[in-house]
Amino acid sequence: QVQLVESGGGLVQPGGSLRLSCVASGNIFPFSIYAMGWYRQAPGKQRELVATITSGGSTNYADSVKGRFTISRDNAKNTVYLQMNSLKPEDTAVYYCNAGHQPPNSDYRPLDYWGQGTQVTVSS
């Protein structure tokens, strides 16, 4: 079994910042070999990939968040983070953590390991 638990969501004003955390447990050991990704889904929208980080630490971002969001990981804590700065109303969504694979020069491939999601609402 694999469990991913997100936290850190909430209500924030436009221009504000928020840091999301995702803690992995269960049969996802060693954590360090997995690529990790953050997805988000707004009402009536498709789930979209926001950011990924490989086991080697390489990162990729959706164009919509590039320059504002930063994904990072702490393997000692089995945790991946998403630092969100300069938040906009269009960032409002449920954010999900995912474990997957991302071979060199390849797209992120999600595994069926998802968190429960954490709500981020950006509103004045």
Q: What is the mean pLDDT of each run of 10 residues along the chain (124 residues)?
A: 93 98 86 94 96 95 97 95 98 97 92 94 96
Predicted pLDDT of residue 104: 85
pLDDT of residue 32: 87
pLDDT for 105 equals 87
Q: Whose structure tokens read 């954590």?
A: 31
CA angle 101, 117, 22 (to 5 degrees): 55
Whole-number pLDDT of residue 51: 98
Exposed / middle / buried, residue 85 (Cβ in 10 Å: 0-12, 13-18, 19+)? middle
pLDDT confidence of residue 27: 76
pLDDT value for 31: 85
What three-state secondary structure class fits 76? Answer: helix
